Chains A and B, each alone.
Chain A
Amino acid sequence: MTYAKPLPVPDPDSAHFWAGCRSHRLLIQRCHACGTHRFPAGPFCPACRSRDTDWIEASGRATVFSWIVVRHPVPREVYQDDVPYVVALVTLEEGPRMATNIVGCPPEAVTAGMPVEVVFDTVTAEIALPRFRPIPAGAR
């Protein structure tokens, strides 16, 4: 069955990020000049304007910054079997924020500041999406 949901279209700025996801590594940029982490990927460091960039593997740990629970599916035919689902902004340990889904817990269990960790969901041969799940209390 074909995958009907939006699939990221990697570009020269983002190709490394999506290649990392495919191998289950969460790669983000770190400015070679000033050390500032950044995401989404981009050609310039907004802190110092340098184009000289390293890619590092993030820890994959984050906290929930904000979240929504989608109840009304849009487009209906694409998401009707998924609702309710949680979309969140999470703050990575390294600093940048990322949009993702919270999986592995019911929507009502999501709280602000909740510790989460990345889990890769391979949706096609080329694309794995970085979703996040709660870190069990004992493992924090």
Chain B
Amino acid sequence: MWSLRDKYCIVGIGSTEFSKASGRTVLDLASSACQAALDDAGVSATEVDGIVSFHFGDSVPAIAVATQLGVPAVRYAVDTAGGGNAANLIVLQAVAAIEAGLADTVLCYRAMNGRSGFRLGGGRDMSAHGITQYTAPFGWITYPQAMAMWCRRHMIEYGTTAEQLGHVAVTTRANAVLNERAMQRQPMTMDDYMAARFIVEPFRLYDICLESDGACAVLVTRADRARDLRHRPVHIMGGAYGGGPNQGEDLFDALRWPDHSHNYARYIADDLWGKAGVGPADVDVAEIYDCFTYSVLMQLEGLGFCKEGEGGPFVAAGNIARDGPLPVNTHGGLLSEAYIHGFNHVIEAVSQLRGHAGVRQVPDAEIALTTAGAMTCGSAMVLRR
């Protein structure tokens, strides 16, 4: 078990509205979410001394947010370059910084105008230099196109079907219907899912997540301090970051990955559960990175909720429904709540463990999993109330 297990807590959470056109700067979104997390915790910005974020060249630096909030002395500031893989990593960076004595009270955020500004899903560098020279010239350019290749491998290797992918989309949407913050709240049936047009086979429209403007933030500090703050603290039991061999040269590149029918989750499972001292059977609610439907299947398999290749039948049997044995993406996920790059999953996990999730509350949720990542690398945490 991890020597840091339960030693650090998430004591505050904050979000902005999620929308297609915020009409606000990313600096405004980031600062507002961070201020909301401070207000939620009952902690003043003058007590903050660390701030961490991740970005894809589409955000604002941590020090800019600290400046807006009037943080008097920043002792630790990191802008981690990353995609969804980093969403839990930055919380672990906060833990590491506090443990190392570099900071004491650390804000973590992700902020983006992901629809009205830089659209991550819509394209990438067209100049075809570096690793891109081996992919873009063939019209292999966007993240949906990248990840459809992984999904197809899972279908080839295990016979995963469109209907099984559809179960992820439909189940997730049913949760979003109950979430007033979610961007997509109209009910969806399997017929709706199957009738949607192909974007890039094997992905239909609803296999692909939203694009969103918005920000989410959490405040991390020591457990002994957390006890005196406003809400029941949520303890970080364990966390892990990583992936397998041959992760390649950027997030898109997986030319040398062993087999795209599995992703990073397989490689961090032992580290994650070993640190937390619990296993998949102990998880009450799981917020699993769902940039695309298939990624949920691969993480369920890789983290040991079902056997390799059985993710499709596992979801089709109703296991991930809100009233099933493993409620997944109770907020609606990236597919239906918003695409805040996985950081909205952390917010939802904390809400569930506090018992603050309202009509979508999983009864008596005690242990939550959050994950982030879909391809060669990712991060995950186990949280408890």
Contact status B197-A71, CB under 8 Å: yes
Could you tell me the distance between the alpha carbons of A98 and B131 in the complex, rounded to whole angstroms?
A: 12
Identity of the chain A residue whose Cβ is nearest the Cβ of B205 in the assembled complex: A72
1/0 contact trace for B132-169 toward A, CB 8 Å? 11111111111001001110110010000000000000
Contact status A40-B134, CB under 8 Å: yes
Could you tell me the distance between the alpha carbons of A107 and B139 in the complex, rounded to whole angstroms?
A: 15
Identity of the chain B residue whose Cβ is nearest the Cβ of A85 in the assembled complex: B139
Given that A8-B134, A89-B149, A97-B256 are contacting pairs, would A68 and B142 also be in contact in the complex, using a CB cutoff of 8 Å?
A: no
Distance in angstroms from A19 CB to nearest chain B CB is 13
Could you tell me the distance between the alpha carbons of A2 and B198 in the complex, rounded to whole angstroms?
A: 30
1/0 contact trace for B180-206 toward A, CB 8 Å? 000000000000000001111110000
Could you tell me the distance between the alpha carbons of A77 and B145 in the complex, rounded to whole angstroms?
A: 17
B123 interface residue per 8 A CB criterion: yes
Contact status A74-B137, CB under 8 Å: no
Contact status B255-A87, CB under 8 Å: no
Distance in angstroms from A38 CB to nearest chain B CB is 8
A10 interface residue per 8 A CB criterion: yes
Given that A40-B255, A46-B246, A74-B142 are contacting pairs, would A66 and B260 also be in contact in the complex, using a CB cutoff of 8 Å?
A: yes
Identity of the chain B residue whose Cβ is nearest the Cβ of A75 in the assembled complex: B123
Contact status B201-A5, CB under 8 Å: no
Distance in angstroms from B77 CB to nearest chain A CB is 34
Chain A residues contacting B132 (CB-CB under 8 Å) are: 6
Contact status A71-B201, CB under 8 Å: yes
Chain A residues contacting B140 (CB-CB under 8 Å) are: 68, 87, 99
Contact status B153-A98, CB under 8 Å: no
Could you tell me the distance between the alpha carbons of A51 and B153 in the complex, rounded to whole angstroms?
A: 32
A1 interface residue per 8 A CB criterion: no
Could you tell me the distance between the alpha carbons of A97 and B142 in the complex, rounded to whole angstroms?
A: 19
Contact status B138-A101, CB under 8 Å: yes
Chain A residues contacting B202 (CB-CB under 8 Å) are: 68
What's the interface size class on A, roughly?
35 or more
Contact status A69-B200, CB under 8 Å: yes
Given that A5-B139, A66-B152, A85-B139 are contacting pairs, would A71 and B134 also be in contact in the complex, using a CB cutoff of 8 Å?
A: no
1/0 contact trace for A64-80 toward B, CB 8 Å? 01111111101100010
Question: Which residues from 90 to 140 on chain A have a C-beta closer than 8 Å to any C-beta of chain B?
Answer: 96-101, 107, 112, 127, 129, 131
A-B pair count, CB < 8 Å, reads 103
Could you tell me the distance between the alpha carbons of A39 and B123 in the complex, rounded to whole angstroms?
A: 24
Chain A residues contacting B134 (CB-CB under 8 Å) are: 8, 14, 40, 98-99
Distance in angstroms from A113 CB to nearest chain B CB is 9
Question: Which residues from 38 to 83 on chain A have a C-beta closer than 8 Å to any C-beta of chain B?
Answer: 39-40, 46, 65-72, 74-75, 79, 82
Contact status B199-A9, CB under 8 Å: no
Chain B residues contacting A11 (CB-CB under 8 Å) are: 129-130, 133
B122 interface residue per 8 A CB criterion: yes
B127 interface residue per 8 A CB criterion: yes
Interface core residue of A40, A66, A97 (most chain B CB under 10 Å): A66
Chain A residues contacting B197 (CB-CB under 8 Å) are: 71-72
Residue in A9, A18, A39, A100 whose beta carbon sits within 8 Å of that of B138 in the complex: A100
Could you tell me the distance between the alpha carbons of A26 and B142 in the complex, rounded to whole angstroms?
A: 26
B21 interface residue per 8 A CB criterion: no
Identity of the chain A residue whose Cβ is nearest the Cβ of B253 in the assembled complex: A40
A34 interface residue per 8 A CB criterion: no
Could you tell me the distance between the alpha carbons of A10 and B140 in the complex, rounded to whole angstroms?
A: 18
- A-B contacts, 30 of them at CB < 8 A, read A6-B128, A6-B132, A6-B136, A6-B137, A6-B141, A8-B134, A9-B127, A9-B129, A10-B133, A66-B152, A66-B153, A66-B156, A67-B149, A68-B145, A68-B149, A68-B202, A70-B200, A71-B197, A72-B200, A74-B123, A74-B142, A79-B139, A87-B138, A89-B149, A100-B138, A101-B138, A101-B139, A127-B137, A129-B137, A131-B138
Q: Give the A-binding residues of B (Cβ under 8 A).
A: 122-123, 126-142, 145, 148-150, 152-153, 156, 197-202, 246, 255-256, 260
Q: Which 8 A-B pairs have the closest CB atoms?
A: A8-B133, A6-B136, A69-B201, A9-B129, A6-B128, A68-B148, A112-B156, A72-B199
